[in-house]
C-alpha cells in the first residue's frame, strides 16, 4: 500500500531532493508534503519546482514554548495525512510529546556513524579524533537526540588532507544514497538495516 511521506527540513534540502527523486515506480513511498520551519529554506523552492506541496511553520513566534510550536507543526502536517515523516536537516529538537505522536513512523538522517558524534559539528569532531572513516546514519526518531533504532549506515573514508568541508561533501554523497534506500525499505514495512557500501 502506498505510504505518504512528509519531509521536514530547515536548509538546502539536498537529501529531500534525493528522497523525492526516489519515490517513483515500485517504491511504495510517495511525497505528500515538504515543510520547513524557515520560510527562506532553499529546499522549499526545489520541492515546489517538483510539484510537491510546501508549508512553513515558523518556530519563532512560539519563543520558548516548544509544545505550542509542535502542536502547530503537527496540525499542519496532519492536513496532508502522511504515513511517514522524514527529517532531512530539520534543525529543531523535537520533544517527547511530538516524537510520541510519530513513534515508529518518523526517521532521520544524521551525518555521523552513530552512536558516535550525536549533535552538531560531526565532521570536525571525527577529524579531531583521528578517525579513519566517517559516514551517516538513518534511524528511527525517539525522544533522545540522534538516537533510536538504526535503519542504515553508509561509510566513507577519511583522507589525510580532509577538512570538515571536504569530508561533509563526501558524506553528503553517501547520504543521498542511503536515505532513499532506507525509506524505500521502511515504506515496505521492512526495518532490516542497510549497510553501504
Binders of ligand GRF among residues 158 to 187 (CB under 6 A) are 172, 175
Catalytic option among 110, 123, 139, 176: 110
CA dist 82 and 79 (Å) reads 9
Q: Which of 15, 22, 36, 142 contacts ligand GRF by CB under 6 A? A: 15
Residue 176 has φ and ψ, to the nearest 5°, of -70, -20
- H or E stretch including 181? helix 164-187
Q: Which is closer to ligand GRF, CB of 71 or CB of 155?
A: 155
What string marks each residue from 51 to 80 as x (binds ligand GRF by CB under 6 A) or -?
------------------------------
Q: Which is closer to ligand GRF, CB of 11 or CB of 71?
A: 11
C-beta of 1: minimal distance to ligand GRF in Å? Answer: 27
* Helix (H/G/I), strand (E/B), else coil: 56: strand
- Asked if 74 is an active-site residue, the reply is no
Q: What is the DSSP string of 113-128?
A: -TTS--SS-HHHHHHH
Is residue 9 part of the contact set for ligand GRF (CB under 6 A)? yes
Question: How many CA atoms are closer than 13 Å to the CA of 6, on its beta-carbon side?
Answer: 23
CA dist 7 and 21 (Å) reads 13
What residue has cell string 515523516? 85
C-beta of 108: minimal distance to ligand GRF in Å? Answer: 7
Catalytic residues: 110
**Where does this chain bind ligand GRF (CB under 6 A)?**
9, 11-16, 43, 88-89, 109-111, 136, 172, 175
Amino acid at each position: 500500500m502506498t505510504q505518504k511521506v512528509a519531509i521536514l527540513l530547515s536548509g538546502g534540502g539536498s537529501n529531500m531532493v534525493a528522497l523525492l527523486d526516489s519515490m517513483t515506480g515500485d517504491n511504495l513511498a510517495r511525497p505528500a508534503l515538504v515543510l520547513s520551519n524557515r520560510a527562506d529554506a532553499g529546499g522549499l523552492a526545489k520541492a515546489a519546482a517538483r510539484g510537491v506541496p510546501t508549508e512553513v511553520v515558523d518556530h519563532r513566534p512560539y519563543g520558548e514554548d516548544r509544545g505550542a510550536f509542535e502542536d502547530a507543526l503537527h496540525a499542519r502536517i496532519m492536513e496532508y495525512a502522511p504515513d511517514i515523516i522524514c527529517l532531512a536537516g530539520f534543525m529543531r529538537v523535537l520533544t517527547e510529546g511530538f516524537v510520541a505522536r510519530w513513534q515508529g513512523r518518523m526517521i532521520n538522517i544524521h551525518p555521523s556513524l552513530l552512536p558516535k558524534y550525536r549533535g552538531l559539528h560531526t565532521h570536525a569532531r571525527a577529524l579531531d579524533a583521528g578517525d579513519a572513516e566517517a559516514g551517516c546514519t538513518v534511524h528511527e526518531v525517539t525522544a533522545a537526540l540522534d538516537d533510536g533504532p538504526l535503519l542504515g549506515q553508509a561509510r566513507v573514508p577519511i583522507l589525510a588532507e580532509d577538512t570538515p568541508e571536504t569530508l561533509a561533501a563526501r558524506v553528503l554523497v553517501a547520504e543521498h544514497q542511503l536515505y532513499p534506500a532506507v525509506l524505500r525499505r521502511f515504506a515496505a514495512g521492512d526495518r532490516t538495516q542497510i549497510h553501504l557500501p
